Every structure is written in C-alpha cells, then in structure tokens.
Amino acid sequence: MGRATAARDVALGAALVVVASIVVCPASSVAAQTPPVEATTDAPHGTSAPAGASAAVSGGSDTAPAAQSDFDVRQKELDRRGADNNYRYAVAQHNCYSTFFVNHCLNKARDQMRAVQADIRKEQLALDDEQRAVRAQQRDQQAALKRAQDEADAPQRAADEARNQETYEEKQRQHALDEAQRAAEAPQRAANAAAFEQKQQQHAVDQARRGPDAAQKAANQAAYDKKQADFQRQLDEARREGQQKAVERQEKAQRFEQKQEDAARHKADVDERQRQAAEKAQQKQQDQLKQQQGQQQSQ
C-alpha cells in the first residue's frame, strides 16, 4: 500500500511539472508539437471563426487593426483552452491511480485529452491560415500603393528627363558656338603673329641702320634670336595645347553621348522590367482573387 501511494505521488508530481511547462509555452508551439490523432470524439467548441476572419480580411486596410485584435483574442482563447486541457489531463492521470483499472483509466483520459487537443489544433491551423491571408492582403495593398505612387511620380520623372535633355542640347549648342568663334578668330590670331614678327624684323633693320658695332650687333642678334625662339616655342606650345584641348573636348563629348545612350538603354530596360513586374503582379492578384472567390463559393 505504501509503495502504491508513493507511486501515485511521483506520478502526480511529474504531471504537475508537465502542466507547468505547457502553461508557460505558447499554445501555438504546443499545437505544432502535438502528434496526430486517428479520430476525434469530443468537439466542445465550434469552428465558426474562419467566417469572421474572412470578413475582416475583406474589410481592407482600415479594418486591419480590428482583425489583428480579433486574432489576438482568439489566440489567447486557444492558449487558455490548451492549458486547461493539459491541466484536466494531469488531474485525470492523478485520479486514475486511485482506481482499480489504472491502465484503462489512463488510456481513456489520454483519448479525451487528444480529442480536445485535436480540436484545438484544428482551430489553431484555421487561425494561422486566416492570419496569413490578412498579411498577404496587406502586402498586396502596400504593393498597390507603391504602384500608384510610381504612376503619380511618372509625370515629374518625365519632366526631369525632358529638362535634362534640354540642358544637354543647350550645352551642345554652346559648344558648337565656341568652336565656331575660335575658328573665326584663328585668322586674326595669325595676322597678329605675323604683324609681331614683322615688327621685330623692322626693329632689327632699324638697329642695323643706326650702325652699332659688331659686338653690339651680335648681342642684339642673339637677343633677337632668343626672343624669336622663345616666341616660336610659346607659339608651338600654345598650338599643341589647343590641339590637345580640342581632342579632349571631342573625347568628352563622345563620352557624354555614350553615357546618354547607355542611360537611354538602361531606362528602356528598367521600364520593360517594371512593365513585366506590373503584369505579373496584376496576374497574381487576379489569380488570388479567383482562388478566394472559389474558396468562398465552396464554403
């Protein structure tokens, strides 16, 4: 008799530990870890919640907080029922050790617990499906808002692109005018250089007429030659710099045109991908609507 009492006390302690651990854990994890049951014999609670959740989903974004509140209330109720079911099962296990047919009593208590547990799991799965549907609808609404925003911003983007194109064309016209002006001034610059050279030559002639001595003539000639060499060197450097700058301007213009072409191709690619994405999203939304309508008709 003492051994039987000790066994019952040990079983009761283990059962209470199990109940405490189940109460602490979320009901969703308990439902996920519950093994499947071959048949259910007890269904104390109905499953009319999916209709309410469907109405909440169809209410749009304004009813999303209310739907979430309803989900929270139902989840708390499922958690409470799960904890209560496990507690009643632990109590039934404890009471079975006071009966003559202990194993039969334990099997019956386990069957009752599993039946209620299966019903709770069924309602938990339905609740999870409804929450997923609401979240999917919210994602679709956000995507629709994003598309609407993009469509609303399209005129501004087009205006910006037109303004950028006009700025580019204006710069091209100004560049062409600068090139034409430099080409028009080239003869004048050549005439100025020729006049300067003639003036230098005339100065040398005047110096020769004034009759300086040989040393002075040599010094003057050396100075003149040096000036001429310096002038020629500066003139050559200016020409080289001008040619180099012209080549650089041409290369910059070509790179700019290449960038514009690349930008145009990139824009065309982006527009095409956006169009394809919009078509896919629209097709997906239509499929989801058809699927929901089919589910509603089947219900």
Q: Tell me the pLDDT tens digit for each residue of 22-60.
A: 333 333 333 333 333 333 333 333 334 344 434 433 445
Tell me: the pLDDT tens digits for 63-114? 667 778 899 999 999 999 999 999 999 999 999 999 999 999 999 999 999 9
| Secondary structure (DSSP) of 231-292 | HHHHHHHHHHHHHHHHHHHHHHHHHHHHHHHHHHHHHHHHHHHHHHHHHHHHHHHHHHHHHH
Section 215-221 average pLDDT: 78
Give burial (CB, 10 Å; 0-12/13-18/19+) of 217: middle
Between CA 79 and CA 139 the distance in angstroms is 28
Say how many C-beta atoms besides its own lie within 10 A of residue 89's C-beta: 22
Give burial (CB, 10 Å; 0-12/13-18/19+) of 209: exposed
Residues in Cβ contact with 32 at an 8 Å cutoff, skipping those fewer than 6 apart? none
In this prediction, residue 216 carries a pLDDT of 75
Q: What is the pTM of this model?
A: 0.34
In this prediction, residue 182 carries a pLDDT of 85
In which residue are the tokens 């699927």 written? 291
In this prediction, residue 9 carries a pLDDT of 53
Q: What percent of the chain has pLDDT over 90?
A: 43
Phi/psi of residue 39, nearest 5 degrees: -150, 150
Average pLDDT, the chain: 79
CA-angle at 38, arms to 36 and 42, nearest 5°: 95
Section 165-193 average pLDDT: 89
In this prediction, residue 292 carries a pLDDT of 83
Phi/psi of residue 212, nearest 5 degrees: -70, 165
Cα first-last separation, the chain:
58
Phi/psi of residue 37, nearest 5 degrees: -110, 140
Residue 128, token pair as written in the block = 């999870």
Amino acid letter at 84?
A: D
Asked whether residue 11 carries a pLDDT value surpassing 90, the answer given is no
Which of the four pLDDT bands, split at 50, 70 and 90, describes residue 212?
A: low
Give the residue from 45, 16, 230 showing the smallest Cα distance to 123.
Answer: 45
In this prediction, residue 46 carries a pLDDT of 37
Residues in Cβ contact with 288 at an 8 Å cutoff, skipping those fewer than 6 apart? 136, 140
Every domain of the chain and the residues it spans: 2-150, 214-299
